[in-house]
A = this chain, B = another copy of it.
Amino acid sequence: MPKIDITALPSESGSGYPAPYDAGFEKRHVTRLGKAAGLTQFGANLVRLEPGAMASQRHWHENQDEFLMVTKGTCTLVEDEGSTTLSPGDCAAFPAGNPNGHHLVNNSREDAEFLVIGTHSSTETGHYSDVDMMVRVTDGEYNFTRRDGSPIRGEGGQ
């Protein structure tokens, strides 16, 4: 049955970012619709943000197109040019390789929700605009480092 039974799917909270950049993501809830339905070429995730939550660290992708549509509540899109309020039905897109870091934040007092689509690729490099972090992804393995490639938690305990 191609219709997806969304209410039957698990919702994931938390983040795979290394500390301290994983703080606050317990208020972000991700339901992986495309994965549940057997899609492999792109991700299709429904993301619920509690008030005050962000959907991700502000970032951009070298290799992967990204598209989103707000489905409930109000989200704030933050990117290099500033902030834009997005309401249900509003869409935004981020072509691969455009270094305009972006993320959604819920600055409202109600839950907000959006659908996000992102290409799957065997390798990817992601850059973060507001924190000293980058990620290289190879076959699903995420390797987070500082922008200069050094470990985020160095041997010196920094």
- Please report A residues at the B interface, Cβ cutoff 8 Å: 1-4, 6, 33-34, 37-42, 44, 46, 64-65, 67, 69, 71, 77, 79, 81, 84, 86, 89-96, 98, 100, 102, 115, 117, 119
Minimum CB–CB distance from A29 to chain B (whole Å) comes to 16
Q: Roughly how many angstroms separate A81 CA and B89 CA in the complex, as a whole number?
A: 30
With A39-B67, A89-B71 as known contacts, state yes or no: A44 contacts B84, CB within 8 Å: no
Q: Roughly how many angstroms separate A34 CA and B42 CA in the complex, as a whole number?
A: 14
Residues of B within 8 A of A93 (CB): 2, 4, 33-34, 37-39, 44
Total copies of this chain within the assembly: 2
With A33-B67, A34-B93, A71-B89 as known contacts, state yes or no: A119 contacts B42, CB within 8 Å: yes
Residues of B within 8 A of A40 (CB): 65, 95-96
Q: Roughly how many angstroms separate A98 CA and B2 CA in the complex, as a whole number?
A: 10
Q: Roughly how many angstroms separate A100 CA and B37 CA in the complex, as a whole number?
A: 13
Residue in B34, B84, B102 whose beta carbon sits within 8 Å of that of A67 in the complex: B34
With A3-B77, A117-B117 as known contacts, state yes or no: A65 contacts B84, CB within 8 Å: no
Residues of B within 8 A of A44 (CB): 67, 91, 93, 117
